């Protein structure tokens, strides 16, 4: 039975480790179904959504964490976000004419890089960038934590057409270099896709670590939520050349803007643009 979207934090009583578990079903399907991604891209998007939820949970802040992949290969851009409330959204863009087919991760992102950006509601923005040199997204994220945070980390990301799962294990900062992570990581590798996407988190941890004392904390819900709005979209039009806007209005009678994340279409009439408010025009629609 598939469980609702949620993230759990857990700790070990006798091991210097912390962990996170996340399962995304409804949110992953909502994001996937708003676009027509090839299977390889849809799977990578699911992995990235699970990963960004895990990473947000490791940072105690109010704000947004963004995971971005860019390459000159098949995958032009993959961008996922999660905030402290557990709201996730994401998108992917392919190179024109690219056909990923059964391409593996290295082929999709050859020569690319990954950026992790933390944008707190209060405080300084932080960004770390590493090359996409691993065999999969999990390996690249482990490399990021080691390079940027000096924290040894193990990550499992598992996806099928209906759900995405993530498991993160991390040494406590003051306990680097112990054997605990190798022990827990080895057990995590025995987890199958079927188990990951069907077992409740409590049962899953028992399956993996029944010989260790594990404490599972209260779950945090995760859901798809796009932060776009009619007001924000209208403000974005301020950066467009007024002559170009007038040309579009003369030809089409309105200006339409589509959110790349959720595919909501916002339509603005001449009165909207001249007033600079959302008081006129039609309601947004979803294509």
More confident residue, 33 or 281: 33
Mapping DSSP to helix (H, G, I), strand (E, B) and coil, where does residue 186 land?
helix
Question: 29-43, 55-69, 206-220, 269-283: lowest mean pLDDT where?
Answer: 269-283
CA–CA gap between residue 202 and residue 215 (Å, rounded): 9
| DSSP letter for each residue of 164-178 | EEEEEEEE-GGGTT-
pLDDT at 278: 42
| pLDDT score for 3 | 62
How are beta strands 220-221 and 223-224 bridged, if at all? unpaired
Task: Please state, as a whole number, how many other Cβ atoms lie within 10 Å of the Cβ of residue 72.
Answer: 11
Mean pLDDT (the chain, rounded):
89
In eight-state DSSP terms, residue 239 is G
Q: What pLDDT does residue 251 have?
A: 87
How far apart are the C-alpha atoms of 89 and 227, rounded to whole Å? 9
What is the rounded average pLDDT of the residues 201-230?
A: 93
As a whole number of angstroms, the distance between CA 26 and CA 48 comes to 15
Q: Which of 71-85, 119-133, 207-221, 270-284 has the lowest mean pLDDT?
A: 270-284
pLDDT at 276: 54
**According to the model, what pLDDT value does residue 59 have?**
87
Alpha-carbon distance of 86 to 44, in angstroms, equals 20
Ranges assigned E (strand) in the chain: 6-12, 17-24, 63-70, 75-83, 87-94, 113-120, 126-131, 153-159, 164-171, 214-216, 220-221, 223-224, 255-258, 264-268, 285-286
What average pLDDT score do residues 99-121 get?
A: 89
Q: Would you state the pLDDT for residue 275?
A: 62
Handedness of CA 98, 102, 108, 114 (dihedral sign): positive
Q: Report pLDDT digits (tens) over 2-52.
A: 567 999 999 999 999 999 999 999 999 999 998 888 999 999 999 999 999
Whether residue 277 has pLDDT greater than 60: no
262 contacts 226 by C-beta, under 8 angstroms: yes
pLDDT of residue 156: 97
Task: With CA atoms as reference, report the closest residue to 52 among 90, 8, 6, 3.
Answer: 90
Q: What was the pLDDT predicted at 279?
A: 41
Q: Please enumerate, as own/partner, the contacts of 232-236 that have beta carbons within 8 Å and a separation of 24 or more.
A: 233/257, 233/259, 233/266, 234/266, 234/268, 234/272, 234/273, 234/276, 234/277, 234/278
Average pLDDT value for residue range 216-244:
88
Report the percent of the chain where pLDDT is more than 70.
94
Does 212 have pLDDT greater than 70?
yes
What's the confidence (pLDDT) of residue 2?
52
Question: Looking at residue 120, what is its pLDDT?
Answer: 93
Full-model pTM: 0.87
Higher pLDDT, 86 or 260: 86
Domains delineated in the chain: 6-224 (3.55.30.10), 230-286 (3.90.1280.10)
Q: Which residues are bridge partners to 75 per DSSP?
A: 94
Residue pLDDT, tens place only, 147-199: 888 889 999 999 999 999 999 999 988 777 678 999 999 999 999 999 999 99
Residues 6+ apart with CB under 8 A from 27: 5, 49, 88, 222, 223, 224
Q: What are phi and psi of 23, to 5 degrees?
A: -130, 125
| Cβ-Cβ contacts under 8 Å for 219 (sequence gap 6 or more) | 6, 7, 8, 201
């Amino acid at each position: 039975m598939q469980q609702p979207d949620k993230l759990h934090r857990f700790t070990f009583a006798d091991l210097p480790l912390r962990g996170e578990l996340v399962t995304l079903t409804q949110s992953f399907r909502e994001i996937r179904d708003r676009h027509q991604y090839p299977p390889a891209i849809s799977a990578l998007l699911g992995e990235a959504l699970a990963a960004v939820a895990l990473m947000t949970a490791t940072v105690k802040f109010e704000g947004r964490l963004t995971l971005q992949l860019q390459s000159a290969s098949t995958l032009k851009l993959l961008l996922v976000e999660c905030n402290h409330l557990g709201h996730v959204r994401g998108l992917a863009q392919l190179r024109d004419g690219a056909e990923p087919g059964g391409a593996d991760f290295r082929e999709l992102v050859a020569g690319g890089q990954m950026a992790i950006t933390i944008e707190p509601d209060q405080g300084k923005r932080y960004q770390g960038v590493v090359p996409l040199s691993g065999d999969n997204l999990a390996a690249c994220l482990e490399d990021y934590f080691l390079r940027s945070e000096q924290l040894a980390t193990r990550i499992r990301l598992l996806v099928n057409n209906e759900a995405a799962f993530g498991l993160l294990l991390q040494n406590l900062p003051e306990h680097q270099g112990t054997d605990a992570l190798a022990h827990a990581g080895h057990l995590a590798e025995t987890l199958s896709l079927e188990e990951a996407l069907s077992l409740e988190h409590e049962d899953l941890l028992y399956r993996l670590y029944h010989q260790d004392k594990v404490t599972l904390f209260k779950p945090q819900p995760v859901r798809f939520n796009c932060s776009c709005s009619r007001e924000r979209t209208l403000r974005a039009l301020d950066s467009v050349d007024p002559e170009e806007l007038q040309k579009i209005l003369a030809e089409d009678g309105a200006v339409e803007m589509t959110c790349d994340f959720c595919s909501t279409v916002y339509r603005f009439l001449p009165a909207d643009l001249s007033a600079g408010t959302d008081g006129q025009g039609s309601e947004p629609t979803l294509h």
